[in-house]
Structure 1
């Protein structure tokens, strides 16, 4: 059994000064932490590397040269019998399932970011698509979010979208 913690689009320190304490508290509970890009600052990568048993991350469109030098555009791993991939951008919502199934025919699960919109769907080929949203910038969503899940025996179970409370003293961009 592999406990997963999924996040994306942290955009620190522009969208928030730090990761939400609720999310940081989840780090020691996870066997693998997954970040689907748009870190923006290297300090967040350093923090997650230092506090995670294992970190799988990719760079996003807002990540500069130093992050791009340390992170791939696409990451792949086998976790709990699942073939998992991570990428930042998958294009628009229309046609996403078809595009991802064609681009990643060898995966069981694809974690992506970019939109800040939580997403959980399954393609006709059985590829599960997950976007954890953003823990720091909700955009037009009602809440900032992240995901937890369990990978075991080739199955992804216990997928939970966690909604974070509003940050005190600051409103996020609507």
Structure 2
């Protein structure tokens, strides 16, 4: 790691438009296709994420339990899954942070985007998109995770040359 000072990362609200370059926002919203089913008893918010299991992979569903993080938080590393997408859907109803960078070469701190996700918003990282592991805020939080099981290496991790600091959400 470099002796350069850390870069302050600003947090913005998670929205479909702001997150589009990194994947999908999973939420019940009037902005997505939705319709009534089950004799009018259920509203279906339809086809919210492009779940991609990659070559020879299959889609799996897991629960990840994220430990509470506090701010300020130092972002020293990022990871990506080059073969498949990875979706996180919160079960605890609490806000959490999403840190991403574009797919491609290892990111630099100045390329990181930080989003504050509400407890009713999930994210689906497109294959190859750099992201930080779970950043639950203030409490342990469970997430349904939809991702890939299959052959081949599907997790790359890199250490940032200069860290990023998330001071406040």
Short-chain TM bin: under 0.3
The structure that has the greater radius of gyration is 2
Compute the TM-score of the two structures, normalised by the length of structure 1: 0.24
Pick 1 or 2: higher relative contact order, CA cutoff 8 A, min separation 6.
Answer: 2
Q: What TM-score results when the alignment is normalised by the length of structure 2?
A: 0.24
Is the strand fraction higher in 1 or 2? 2
Larger helix proportion of the pair: 1
